[in-house]
Amino acid sequence: MKIAIVGSGSVGTYYGAKLAHGGSDVHFLMRGDLSDVRRDGILVRGRGENFQVVKINCYNSTQEIGPCDLVIVALKATSNADLVDLVPPLLKERTMLLTLQNGLGNEEFLAEHFGADRVLGALCFIAVDRHSKSEVERYAYGHVVLGEFNRVSQPRTREVAAEFSRAKVHCSVTDNLALERWRKLIWNIPFNGLSIVAGRIDTAAIVADKNLRELTIALMNEVITAANKCGHALPNDGWQEHIKRSETMSGYKPSTLQDWEAGKPLEIEAIWGEPVRRAAASGGKMPLTETIYALLNKMDQGRGSP
């Protein structure tokens, strides 16, 4: 299976390196200077793993990569418009498109532009940071939940899962990708949002503060209620596992906070805006999430202002 990684940030670099280390034929799109990666390879550090992939297939353009069997999309959702030009050189008749992106609406974007039959999605339950183009560090987890867009799992779904498993990535297959998208939002909506609006703080600071912890749980319950209103049956106590897991993360900075500190665009629409709109379309309300959504938009618009 020839695999392209489109989006070589922390998540794309980590999983691409894992796949390459496991023996997969991986090709990275890395726009910009490639000299460090070509010279040093990619170093992965984390609890229970420390390895280096010395020979990296990396390119400035997807034309150089050519047609692939699997395209893994790990760009931020804010860059989806770029995919319209980036993806076509990677396609052949049966090329699969697998998005690892956060939030809602990414599978729909790929389906609209490249055909729904190609599209798969995955939820990456991982805390990872890229220190440079050639070094990433995993702080926790690494579990991947893989599914098909708007259909149950197929033989190819399990083939892709096997590719991850061969690379020692814990990967499970779901028959309901949309449900799992909402399940991940239970964590993403409060922690990514509060990490910024509460004053650029990490996960440990959020769970340690009584008021922020209570607000986090309230936001999680709001997501669960909205998901059920949209027809995705999440358990009422589904927030508990997310809180417990967050207590073990040792002060991790969520991806949106990392983007904020790096001056990058924030995935506001995918993580907060689209869930609010889908809940409203189903007759539900997410007032706390709407507040986070409005605050993030205001703060994002004010960046760079005197």
Residue positions annotated with a catalytic role: 184
Neighbours of 305 (CB within 10 A): 5
Neighbours of 285 (CB within 10 A): 14
- Under a CB-based contact definition with an 8 Å cutoff, are residues 122 and 145 in contact? yes
70-97 as b/e: b if 16+ CB within 10 A: bbbbbbbbbbbeebeebbeebbeeebbb
As to burial, measured by CB atoms within 10 angstroms (0-12 exposed, 13-18 middle, 19+ buried), residue 295 is middle
Instruction: Name the β-bridge partners of 289.
Output: none
Question: E-assigned strands of the chain?
Answer: 2-6, 25-29, 42-46, 49-53, 57-59, 70-73, 96-99, 119-132, 135-148, 171-173
